Structure 1
Amino acid sequence: MKKSFFLTVFLVFTTFQALGQSSELTAFNADRLQLNKVGMVVLGSWAIGNFATNAALLRNPSSKEQGYFYRMNIYWNVVNLALAVPGLRNSLITDPSSISLTESIGDYHQMGKVLLINAGLDVAYITGGFLMKEMTKSRPNRQDLLNGYGKSLMLQGGFLFAFDVVMYGLLQSKSDSLNKIIETVSVNADGFSLVFRF
């Protein structure tokens, strides 16, 4: 009788512990997907806002330079929208409870790498904008185009740099949650096991 009682208690405790870990992982993935969803809404809104504003201003630009600036902003945000829509869709249709621990760790680190690489590219875009403006000194016949495109690169690169840095910071704020989940798992020669902490 005592054996079966202790075995039952142990099995119930183990089940609750495993469910607790599963719910913590689901909560972590839900938070990560929510962060991505908000990020893609911000990026998509920026793109749509740029389309509307720059298309309206392009109808009657004050100068050729301004026309190039508006056009480049529109071109640039075609790419932003092309990234935001699938990213948003993925965040909306993904079930957080269907993502394994291994996939969660991989997705978390992959997102962090992508944001850091993008931040580096954003700096390159801003630098490219400054270089285009500098090139006007040696190419006066292309001054309007270089100034317009250069200003657009600086504006769009500046926004994207701020976006990627903020997103990376918010993602990193979730690392403690993931580390607590990882601490409950140990790997040995026989496979995976849960670590119970009292």
Structure 2
Amino acid sequence: MLLSVLPAAPAWLASYQHHELLLGRGLGVLGAWALLNLGLSGYQLPRTDRRTWLHHFHLMNCAWAFVNSVLAAVGILRTHPGRPPLGFTPAAALADEQLTGHVFLFNAALDVGYLLIALWLLTRAQTPAATRPARQLGYGRSVQLQGAFLLVFDLVMWALLR
């Protein structure tokens, strides 16, 4: 009975809250990916020979995990899934939603750049004149894995938040 007395939220507010909930959940996926990388590669890193490509792969995965975990945590803390800040307007909600979409598209373009850098590192590691080919191979495979995940993640988030 009490629920029928409460006024319904405006459509723009419901849309914004849905947007923020999806954003928070997506950033939770990014955080889980970071923790998975940190757990697996953090465990394996001291157990691999420093002269092998696998050591460099795990080292780079740990670096990516740190950055991704910070981005996920900051992003989650900045979302407002329950109630927007005071004075928030429909125009501000729309601008925020559009900016978020642009950020994910921009990140997807960066991810393509990461994949190109990975390809360059992997190709360079195979050349006879390569200096420290194990490091280039390990870093290249890590950047390839992280770039591929982030490309899929950013494109899925962009599509979901549209």
Q: Same fold (TM over 0.5)?
A: yes
Q: TM-score, normalised by structure 2?
A: 0.87
Kindly report the root-mean-square deviation, in angstroms, between the aligned alpha carbons of the 2 structures: 1.8
* % identity of equivalent residues: 30
User: Residues 106-164 of structure 1: CA distance to partner in whole angstroms, max 9, x if unpaired?
Assistant: 10110111010000000000110010011121543310010000000000000000000
List, as ranges, runs of 4+ consecutive aligned residues in structure 1 with deviation greater than 6 Å.
none
Q: Secondary structure of 2:47's match?
A: coil
**Pairwise mapping of residues 2-41 of structure 1 onto structure 2 (< 5 A)?**
23-41=10-28
Letter of the aligned partner of 1:170 in structure 2?
L
**Pairwise mapping of residues 168-183 of structure 1 onto structure 2 (< 5 A)?**
168-172=158-162
From the two aligned structures, give the one with the greater strand fraction.
Answer: 1
Aligned position for 1:150: 140
Matched, 1:70 2:62: no
Q: Is the 8 A contact 1:65 1:145 kept in 2?
A: yes
List gaps (5 residues or longer) in structure 2.
1-6
**Pairwise mapping of residues 119-138 of structure 1 onto structure 2 (< 5 A)?**
119-136=108-125, 137-138=127-128
State the structure with more CA Rg.
1
**Pairwise mapping of residues 63-142 of structure 1 onto structure 2 (< 5 A)?**
64-92=52-80, 95-96=83-84, 98=86, 99-136=88-125, 137-142=127-132
Matched, 1:56 2:24: no
Distance (Å, rounded) in 2 between the aligned partners of 1:129 and 1:24? 44
List gaps (5 residues or longer) in structure 1.
1-18, 173-198
Q: Is the 8 A contact 2:124 2:136 kept in 1?
A: yes
